Structure 1
Amino acid sequence: MPQTPTPSLQIWGRANSVNVQKVLWCCHELEVAYDRIDAGMQFGRNGEADYLAMNPNGRVPTLVQGDFVLWESNSIMRYIALAYGAASTLYPSAPKVRAGMERWLDWTLTTLQPAERPLFWGLVRTPVADRDMAALQKAADANAALWEMVDRQLSRQTWIEGDDFSLADIATGCYARRWFGVEGVIRPALPHLQRWYQAISARPGFQTYVAPPLS
């Protein structure tokens, strides 16, 4: 009996969203085909009833595969890695290694993104005349304390968690692009973070989906 083809993936979300970028980079690493549909900010759609029926948060990204719908970027990456990355190191199978990696995925959402958001919005999405540079430097200092944690982690190993490139590097790497990409604030020298960032910056998926100018 012929097998039913697996429905194609749709990824709803604008390409300059950090959370969409994570998912696109993950797909690139695993050579997973998808159709991306613009949604959010200037594209709208995410406040419309049909989108809210898929994702009641009204945010991006949303993954749709046939009648399967999933939201939350890190959960989407986990699903893609489980469904398409059996031979990949992106989502390690060893319980302790996976748990350590999951910790960083959670940390990016609970700790790093809330601290990063005001700095990014203040320096990229706020007109120059409206920027409070003193407040933005304080935000940069708060961000620096978090990146110092990552720098210490990377002083002991090549990648964020374990011996291999994983979803933790994708999630953290997308925010690192913003940290290194904003201008007008003072940042500390973090050599281990810089070494790691150069390594992830060389990956084709990063270059395609994360490296374009911040907007």
Structure 2
Amino acid sequence: MLKIWGRTNSTNVKKVLWAAEETGVTYENIAAGGAFGIVSDPEYRAKNPNGLVPTLEDGDLVLWESNTIVRYIAARYGNPELFIADVGQRAKAERWMDWATSSLALPFRDVFWNVVRLTPDKQDLTAKDNGLKTCSKLFAMVDEALASQPYLSGSKFGVGDIPVGCFVYAWFEMAIERPDLPHLKSWYEQLKLRPAYRKSVMIPLT
């Protein structure tokens, strides 16, 4: 049985849980990180020297880095729709996975922490406002891409939709001002119809 280490309110852990749910593979989620601790324990560091979540165990195979884990689950347990058979189309989809990490994650964190996680006396409103401006521009790029195709993976849902899909849930559910991005909104509404998304991603924001 797969073991997925990580707290369920982590965006990176949500990616992995969502991918696992999409494939229907049996897995065990072991709470770790944040209030659950464990990630500094020597036993955990032997699996993941970064001391971060998620970590995947599949028999003797141990993986860390959320996008890598999503790709592995899709390739090992998914179908050709989730792990796109055409190499070129899959690469076009997967670029959104890496873009979510390299471009979106940092400014999004400034918004999320200052809206959801930090108490008012600890909030950095300048960082929040700058994050909102940057995220609005970045999500406009996603909106433009979705103007010509229903999913970031192309004509059908696939691995390329998972990382940005985890961020977009909080983007629409946080009490913030957002630009009107109709294609992004339509995509989000389609994701909300997926049982795996509702179970793994659409949980209370904490």
Determine which of 10, 13, 20 is the counterpart of 1:20. Answer: 13
Deviation of residue 214 (structure 1)? 0.4
TM-score for the superposition, normalised by structure 1: 0.92
Determine which of 58, 61, 65 is the counterpart of 1:68. Answer: 61
Q: Separation in 1 of the partners of 2:187 and 2:71?
A: 22
Root-mean-square deviation (CA, aligned residues, Å) is 1.1
Secondary structure of 1:158's partner? Answer: coil
Q: Report how many aligned residue pairs link the two structures.
A: 206
Q: Separation in 1 of the partners of 2:126 and 2:164?
A: 26
Aligned residues: percent identity?
Answer: 43
Report whether the alignment pairs 1:120 with 2:112: yes
Write the letter of the residue equivalent to 2:35. Q
Write the letter of the residue equivalent to 1:161. S
Q: Separation in 1 of the partners of 2:10 and 2:22?
A: 18
Report whether the alignment pairs 1:110 with 2:94: no
Deviation of residue 141 (structure 1)? 0.9
Alignment partner, residue 152 of structure 1: 144
1:44-102 deviation line (CA, Å, top 9, x unaligned): 000111101100111001001222100011111111111111x3311112121011012
Q: Separation in 1 of the partners of 2:130 and 2:193?
A: 31
Q: Is the 8 A contact 1:39 1:45 kept in 2?
A: yes
Determine which of 180, 191, 195 is the counterpart of 1:204. Answer: 195
Q: How does 1:84-95 map to 2 (within 5 A)?
A: 84-85=77-78, 87-95=79-87
Q: Separation in 1 of the partners of 2:157 and 2:127?
A: 35
Q: Which blocks of at least 5 consecutive residues in structure 1 are unaligned? A: 1-7
Secondary structure of 2:3's partner? Answer: strand
Write the letter of the residue equivalent to 1:111. S
Q: Is the 8 A contact 2:57 2:63 kept in 1?
A: yes
Deviation of residue 22 (structure 1)? 0.7
Alignment partner, residue 136 of structure 1: 128
Q: Separation in 2 of the partners of 1:12 and 1:165?
A: 25
Write the letter of the residue equivalent to 1:156. S
Q: Which blocks of at least 5 consecutive residues in structure 2 are unaligned? A: none
Q: How does 1:181-196 map to 2 (within 5 A)?
A: 181-183=173-175, 185-196=176-187
Alignment partner, residue 37 of structure 1: 30
- Higher-Rg structure is 1
1:113-152 deviation line (CA, Å, top 9, x unaligned): 1121111111111002332334412210110000000000
Secondary structure of 1:46's partner? Answer: coil
Q: Separation in 1 of the partners of 2:70 and 2:122?
A: 36
After the TM superposition, which segments of 4 or more aligned residues of structure 1 sit over 4 Å from their partners?
none
TM-score for the superposition, normalised by structure 2: 0.96
Secondary structure of 2:29's partner? Answer: strand
Q: Is the 8 A contact 1:137 1:186 kept in 2?
A: no
